[in-house]
Structure 1
Amino acid sequence: MLRISLQTMLRAALMAGGLGIFLAAALPLQAAAQDQMPMRIAVEGAFPPFNYLDANNKLQGFDIDIANALCEVGKFECQFIIEKWDDIIPNLVADKYDAIISSMSMSLERRQKVAFTEKYYNSPSVFIARKDSPISDVSPAALSGKILGVTSSTAQESYANHLYPEMKKKVFRSSPELYKGLSDGSVDIILEDKLAIYDWIANTKAGTCCEFKGPDLVDVTYFGEGAGIALRLDDKERLTRLNEALKTIKADGTYDMINAKYFPFSIE
């Protein structure tokens, strides 16, 4: 139908001697179509409230809402791909998708492998234990003999391995499994992103068992300077467009509306 329509318009333009006018009108439409950039977005889908699958097996969460806003403003044609966290960077580098929008902290180690946009939110890490636990001091010496839970291939796991090398550790595949391990006593204490576990502690029955222990941890070496969108190192055009889109949604109030949907305080 489109081909017939264009042919008809071209014939009419030729008969009217207005070919130049027709081409001038058609070129902006062609340029607009070319302006759309495809972007395959990887998310873990197991890190509520940032990204998770709802009862209908549909992706939800802060990361998903931010990604959709960026796709609209940045003129991206987006497709979401659920990926295991352990494989998420290797498969980005292997060109199986174009971006990771999945609460990835911008650590120095990760910056050797991927490029990052400007941060789109910031969150410290923190230790969490059960309320009936005698743990109050979270120094390596005080936690000697305790079992620490962490999620596989995370900044928290790297931090624990380097700063708590003598401590026994249990590594979980996902954050929900980590939280369950803490509530059922499989571990004595866990280390997790504070915003990620906030909803579990504040808004779930299971989370009432537990509380934060010790100070917020903001070590740039391990936790980076916030969460950013990861791209391949040579993907300069997409990096520029995403950074511009981030500026736009922060300036026009879109970011604040998404923030308020999930948290009663700013996480920017």
Structure 2
Amino acid sequence: MKSAQGNRIRGLAVAMAAAVLLAFLSDANAQQKNTPGFWGPSQRIAKPDLSPITRLRFVTTVDFFPFNYIDGAGILTGFHVDLVRRICAELSITDRCQIQALPWKELRPALEDGRAEAIVAGLAVTPENRKHYLFSQPYMRFPARLIAKRSSLPEEPIAQSLSGKRVGVLGRTTHERLLRDLFPDARATTYSKAQWLYEDLQSGKIDTVFGDGMRLSFWLASPEAKNCCTFAGGPYMAQDYLGQGLAIAVPTDNPMLAEAINFALHEIEASGAFTELYQRYFPVSFY
């Protein structure tokens, strides 16, 4: 990619590689304990008959870092790319499986005209989209999290500790609304730029920051954070505010494919392969 956006994504990829090394050296044991899992321990899914599948083509985009992006060598890569490879290997159809990047506006038409069988690009699981697609079991959700300086972490119960405290949040966002509803006694302090939010946390102008756990995790692992801060309290899933998470979309007339993908996702998690994949792309767990 030659665009400014492409340069930004490649820069994020380089920064993430450095963050991975830093995070694994400093917090490997904690990371091992905080990997997501969305299947119950007693859930079992039978492997469906895959003989009708002559090919399985996934479509994604190139601008959803670190899920799908173009790396420094110009190659499509990311969490979704590796997840698709795992799914295809689990279904034993690697010779009939591929993933292709398209502009966002072309993803839905690709399924409609038969150029692809599945979308793996963060298509929202909404009632409206359910009219047109079947969705797999969610494989990732994005919790809201609090971060604070290591020297002044709020104690449990968090709601009581935050009473009267200054909690920074990006203004006019779902996270601001969730913060005000979850912690009505906190002093919500809104910002228009994340960088200002982080700077004020480091300088002590605010007591904590509330926001998207994934984005906060990358900042915590970055050199700019200077190991000043960490997550406080647990993850706030709040699906009514933050959505159902990431799932793979397939056409409504192909329930067998949705079943097959669910089988593969279950096996990937049960084998520990999902944990390895998650740790590779998310150096500081946001769960």
Normalized against structure 2, the TM-score is what? 0.52
Matches within 5 A, 1:26-105: 35-42=54-61, 44-46=63-65, 48=66, 50-74=67-91, 75=93, 76-81=97-102, 83=104, 92=107, 98-102=118-122
Deviations 1:8-59 (A, max 9, x none): xxxxxxxxxxxxxxxxxxxxxxx9896113221246433x4x5555433544
Q: Which has the larger radius of gyration?
A: 1
1:148 to 136, 147, 169: 169
> Matches of 1:52 and 1:132 in 2, distance apart?
36
The aligned amino acid for 1:40 is V
The answer as to 2:205 corresponding to 1:205 is no
Deviations 1:59-104 (A, max 9, x none): 4443332123224444433213465xxxxxx7655657741344x7
> Matches of 2:197 and 2:250 in 1, distance apart?
33
More strand per residue: 1
Determine helix, strand or coil for the equivalent of 2:138.
coil
> Matches of 1:111 and 1:223 in 2, distance apart?
14
| Gap change, CA 1:32 and 1:218, over 3 Å in 2 | closer
| Gap change, CA 1:263 and 1:44, over 3 Å in 2 | closer
| Gap change, CA 1:218 and 1:232, over 3 Å in 2 | same
Shift of 1:117: 0.9
Matches within 5 A, 1:212-223: 212-223=231-242
Determine helix, strand or coil for the equivalent of 2:120.
strand
Q: Which moved more, 1:50-59 or 1:131-140?
A: 131-140
The aligned amino acid for 1:99 is I
In the alignment, what sits opposite 1:242? 261
> Matches of 2:245 and 2:231 in 1, distance apart?
20
Instruction: Give the number of the structure with larger relative contact order, counting CA–CA contacts within 8 Å between residues 6 or more apart.
Output: 2
| Gap change, CA 1:169 and 1:241, over 3 Å in 2 | farther
1:125 to 126, 132, 144: 144
> Matches of 1:63 and 1:242 in 2, distance apart?
13
> Matches of 1:135 and 1:267 in 2, distance apart?
18
Determine helix, strand or coil for the equivalent of 1:65.
helix
In the alignment, what sits opposite 1:113? 129
> Matches of 2:233 and 2:272 in 1, distance apart?
34
Determine helix, strand or coil for the equivalent of 2:247.
strand
In the alignment, what sits opposite 2:46? none
In the alignment, what sits opposite 1:261? 280
Count of matched residue positions in the alignment of Structure 1 and Structure 2? 213
Same amino acid, percent of matched pairs: 20
Determine helix, strand or coil for the equivalent of 1:64.
helix
Structure 1's unaligned 5+ residue stretches are 1-30, 84-89, 173-177
Q: Does the Cα contact within 8 Å between 2:61 and 2:68 map onto a contact in 1? A: no
| Gap change, CA 1:225 and 1:204, over 3 Å in 2 | same
| Gap change, CA 1:81 and 1:226, over 3 Å in 2 | same
| Gap change, CA 1:257 and 1:82, over 3 Å in 2 | farther
Q: Does the Cα contact within 8 Å between 1:119 and 1:226 map onto a contact in 2? A: yes
The aligned amino acid for 2:198 is S
Matches within 5 A, 1:177-196: 178=194, 180-185=195-200, 190-195=209-214
| Gap change, CA 1:61 and 1:258, over 3 Å in 2 | same
The aligned amino acid for 1:148 is V
> Matches of 2:260 and 2:53 in 1, distance apart?
14
| Gap change, CA 1:218 and 1:225, over 3 Å in 2 | same
The answer as to 2:243 corresponding to 1:228 is no
Determine helix, strand or coil for the equivalent of 1:191.
strand
Determine helix, strand or coil for the equivalent of 1:38.
strand
Normalized against structure 1, the TM-score is what? 0.55
Structure 2's unaligned 5+ residue stretches are 1-49
Q: Does the Cα contact within 8 Å between 2:144 and 2:235 map onto a contact in 1? A: yes
